[in-house]
Amino acid sequence: MSHSGSRYPRELRARGPRMTAARLSPRGLAAATAAFSIWGLFPVYLHPLSGVPALQVIAHRVTWGCLFIFGWMLLRGELATLPLR
């Protein structure tokens, strides 16, 4: 070992801030719980859609996704930042 106690020579050691241990945050835990719940309930949503044409499902997802993003940006006041080309 070197004098500094590191196993690696100085030129091979990472520069910059050191990584710290992960901490549980309530926000992260809520996001993970929501993601796993949505993933688990996804088949319940898809089963009734088996008789609907794929193009219609895609069209609805795109349309509702765009409307949701538009509404979200409207609520946050971010529509003014979009270029008007």
Residues 22 and 79: their CA atoms lie apart, in Å, by 35
Average pLDDT over residues 20-40: 87
Confidence of residue 38 (pLDDT cuts 50, 70, 90): very high
Of 35-39, 47-51, 76-80, 81-85, which range is least confident?
A: 81-85
pLDDT: is 24 or 50 the higher one?
Answer: 50
Average pLDDT over residues 50-69: 94
Where does 10-53 have alpha helices with state H?
A: 26-46
